[in-house]
Amino acid sequence: MAQAQPVRTTPQPDPGEAYLLPGETYTSISHTIGDVPLVALNKTPKGWFVGFTVSFILLMVFLVSVTWLFMKGVGIWGINIPVGWGMDIINFVWWIGIGHAGTLISAILLLLNQGWRNSINRFAEAMTLFAVACAGQYPILHLGRPWLFYWLFPYPNTLGMWPNFRSPLDWDVFAISTYASVSLVFWLVGLIPDFATLRDRSEHPLVKRIYGFVALGWRGSARHWHRYEMASLLLAGLSTPLVVSVHSIISLDFAVSQVPGWQVTVFPPYFVAGAVFAGFAMVLLLMIPVRHFYGFQSYITVRHLDVMAKVMLATGMIVVYGYFMEVWSSLYSGNIYEEYLLYNRLNGPSAIAYYGLLFCNAIAIQPLWFKRVRQNVPALMVISVIISIGMWLERYVIIVISLERDFLPSSWEKYMPTVWDWSLYLGTVGLFFTLIFVFIRVLPMINIFEMRMFQYQETVRLHLKAHPEHEESGHESLTSHSHGASAD
């Protein structure tokens, strides 16, 4: 490791501009990040135990909710006729939207060669997977007869039946399962070099064997790196359309129908933007405490937060544009059902959700125009929470308010979530955080080898900035040192 450590005099960057704070070396990176999963159980931070316990209790709430659901049926929730979808689908869309940030960071930013993504992509990808795991519960749990969920898959069967390929719900099956599997593979492939690092650094023989097993014999040879790079790029290429397709397809669940408030052509891009918006809010929501408690301020710098806040602002404004389009199309449609939808959002029994949504997603993000706010950690935390609530409300407005009052006034009915709606939601939050805490404990939450490379790149970049005359040789050394080191 020490063999390639470049010792150069480089100017110190402004702390608000740096993606990696100075003073980090390959070793320090491997140690700070790699030690978190490797420390002995009794040295695990107390805070971790507290967090894990709370999450685990919520996970038990999830199990209780699901058990009761399977015993009694979906009638334990507040759904009714006409509101056939309630918090089940709201939470489904909410969770799956959250997942999008991870894929965007790991795939699109990789293809766009955005080096700063290296310090957040592992965590964001893990969050994606766990959010998809939570989201994936709902399409099954919301079924009246969940034990027959496999009928949605096209498989050869004695019934001689295919699923109905015209139904957006069936498109969901493919979209989500593809998304979940590609994300998982991408994430696991990216972990292999780090598994090797952990294998090499761990002392306990059992732990060594486990990490060794999952490292799949990684030795850091040039051929390994070559193959890895190829796989990474291919997977990134595969993932990139998924960022757009998954939420587009989920938006089609609504857009294909003819319910006023669902049948909106702007939905696919608007949903994708909303998903990225919500996802970045959730990344911030998780990163800020993790960064604080594990002292990762050098890797996840204020600049990172700043950039993520910018993405949030941009996608948030797209979402606001979507709201505007919804209002406009309802006014311009000349269709009394669409016109009534707007009236109902503004004055109907659930109007408070619509006003809440406008506040959370349109007004509360406006301070992000200011750098001072973007680089203010507590402010970002608060705004991220507001956005997460706002995006939940957005789905409430779209799903519930539209269904509560559609075509026939005779059938209008209010939706009232029950305690079981909330407990299942809390339960999936428990599932999500349990997975997050386990992830924090057993896996490197920041990509070690990419950070090492990033450290090198940053050093070179800053050096070249200070010494433009080294351009030629510097470029060479940049390529030749492409991965810093294989392992300690």
Partner 1 sequence: MTSMNPDFEAIREQLRSTSGKQLWRSLDQLADAPAFRELVEREFPHGASEMDDPVTRRTFLKLMGASLALAGVTGCSYMPPKTLAPFVQMPLDRTPGIPNFYATAVTLNGYATGVLVRQNDGRPTKIEGNLLHPASLGSTDLFVQAEVLTLYDPDRSQSVLTGGVASTWADFTAALGTSLAAQSAGGGAGIRILTTTVTSPTLAAQLAEFGKLYPQARWYQYEPINRDNVYEGARLAFGKYVSTRYDFSKAKVVVSLDADFLAPGPGFVAYARAFADARKVMQTSEEMNRLYVVEATPSTTGATADHRLPLKASAVASFAEALRADLGGKTTELPEHAKVFLEHIIKDLEANRGTSLVIAGDQQPPAVHALAHAINAELGNVGTTVIYTEPVEARPTNQTSEIAALTDEINAGQVELLVIIGGNPAYDAPGDMGFAAAVKRVNLGVHLSQFVDETSQLTTWHIPAAHSLESWSDARAFDGTTSLIQPLIEPLYSGKTAHEVLAALLGQPDATAYALVRAYWQANNPAGGDFEIFWQNALASGVISGTAAPTATVTLKENLTIEVAPAPAAEAVELVFRPDPSLWDGSYANNGWLMELPRPLNKLVWDNAVLMSPSTADTLLGLGLGFAGGQNPLAVTDSQQRQINLEKITGVNGTVVTINHGGGTLELPLWLMPGHAEGSITVTLGYGRTAAGRVGDGVGVNVYPVRVSATPWFVSDGVKVLNANRNYPLVSTQDHWTMEGRDIYRAGIFKEFKLDPAYIRKEVYKEEFGTEEGVFESQVPGDNYTGRNAWGMSINLNACIGCNACVAACQAENNIPVVGKDQVGRGREMHWLRIDRYYAGNNLDNPVTYVMPVACMQCEKAPCELVCPVAATIHDYEGLNNMVYNRCVGTKYCSNNCPYKVRRFNFLQYTDIDTPSLALQRNPEVTVRNRGVMEKCSYCVQRISAARIAAKKAAVQAGEIEYKIPDKTIITACEAACPTHAIVFGDVNDLGSDVAKLKAEPHNYGFIGMLNTKPRTTYLARVRNLNEELEAAEAAG
Task: State which residue, 335 or 473, has the beta carbon closest to partner 1.
Answer: 335
Site string for partner 1, 203-232 (x = CB under 8 A): ------------------------------
Task: State which residue, 228 or 340, has the beta carbon closest to partner 1.
Answer: 340
Candidates 256, 290, 318, 379: give the one binding partner 1 (CB under 8 A).
256
Site string for partner 1, 312-341 (x = CB under 8 A): -----------------------xxx--x-
Structure-token pair, residue 112: 């766009």
Candidates 3, 9, 42, 258: give the one binding partner 1 (CB under 8 A).
258
User: Is residue 257 a contact point for partner 1 (CB under 8 A)?
Assistant: yes
Which position has the token pair 């509101």?
A: 83
Which position has the token pair 């706010």?
A: 373
Q: In the complex, what is the shortest distance from the CB of residue 178 to partner 1, in angstroms, rounded to a whole number? A: 16
What gap in Å lies between CA 10 and CA 173, rounded to an integer?
A: 52
Candidates 163, 220, 367, 474: give the one binding partner 1 (CB under 8 A).
163
Task: State which residue, 66 or 278, has the beta carbon closest to partner 1.
Answer: 66
Site string for partner 1, 40-59 (x = CB under 8 A): --------------------
Are the beta carbons of 455 and 437 closer than 8 angstroms? no
Looking only at residues 60 through 119 of this chain, which bind partner 1 when binding is defined by CB under 8 A? 72-76, 78-85
Candidates 3, 410, 479, 480: give the one binding partner 1 (CB under 8 A).
410
Task: State which residue, 412 or 422, has the beta carbon closest to partner 1.
Answer: 412
Task: State which residue, 74 or 438, has the beta carbon closest to partner 1.
Answer: 74
What gap in Å lies between CA 197 and CA 264, rounded to an integer?
A: 50
The dihedral of CA 129, 130, 134, 135: what is its sign?
negative
Are the beta carbons of 453 and 166 closer than 8 angstroms? no
* Torsion angles phi and psi, residue 151, rounded to 5: -65, -15
10 Å Cβ neighbour count for 238? Answer: 14
Q: In the complex, what is the shortest distance from the CB of residue 52 to partner 1, in angstroms, rounded to a whole number? A: 35
Residue type, 387: I
Looking only at residues 128 through 147 of this chain, which bind partner 1 when binding is defined by CB under 8 A? 142-146
> Count of alpha carbons within 13 Å of 4, Cβ hemisphere only?
22
**Per-residue burial over 351-366, b = 16 or more CB atoms within 10 Å of its CB, e = otherwise:** eebbebbbebbbebbe
Query: DSSP letter string over 369-408?
Result: GSHHHHT-HHHHHHHHHHHHHHHHHHHHIIIIIHHHT-S-
Q: In the complex, what is the shortest distance from the CB of residue 65 to partner 1, in angstroms, rounded to a whole number? A: 16
Binding residues for partner 1, total number by CB under 8 A? 54
Q: In the complex, what is the shortest distance from the CB of residue 259 to partner 1, in angstroms, rounded to a whole number? A: 6
Task: State which residue, 149 or 422, has the beta carbon closest to partner 1.
Answer: 149
Task: State which residue, 326 or 406, has the beta carbon closest to partner 1.
Answer: 406
Candidates 9, 347, 479, 480: give the one binding partner 1 (CB under 8 A).
347
Q: Which stretch binds partner 1 (CB under 8 A): 176-184, 221-229, 253-261, 371-379?
A: 253-261
Q: In the complex, what is the shortest distance from the CB of residue 338 to partner 1, in angstroms, rounded to a whole number? A: 11
What gap in Å lies between CA 6 and CA 4, rounded to an integer?
A: 6
Q: Which stretch binds partner 1 (CB under 8 A): 23-31, 116-124, 413-421, 428-436?
A: 413-421
Query: DSSP letter string over 243-266?
Result: HHHHHHHHHHHHHTS--TTT--TT
What gap in Å lies between CA 429 and CA 388, rounded to an integer?
A: 13
Task: State which residue, 186 or 340, has the beta carbon closest to partner 1.
Answer: 340
User: Is residue 158 a contact point for partner 1 (CB under 8 A)?
Assistant: no
User: Is residue 407 a contact point for partner 1 (CB under 8 A)?
Assistant: yes
Are the beta carbons of 279 and 315 closer than 8 angstroms? no
**Nearest Cα residue to 110 out of 444, 464, 447, 476:** 447
Structure-token pair, residue 170: 């069936």
To 5 degrees, how large is the angle CA 434–CA 58–CA 426?
105
Residues 6 or more apart in contact with residue 207 via CB below 8 angstroms: 38
Q: In the complex, what is the shortest distance from the CB of residue 162 to partner 1, in angstroms, rounded to a whole number? A: 8
Q: In the complex, what is the shortest distance from the CB of residue 344 to partner 1, in angstroms, rounded to a whole number? A: 10
* Contact footprint for partner 1 (CB under 8 A): 72-76, 78-85, 142-146, 148-149, 151-152, 161-164, 166-170, 173, 253, 256-259, 335-337, 340, 343, 347, 403, 406-414, 416
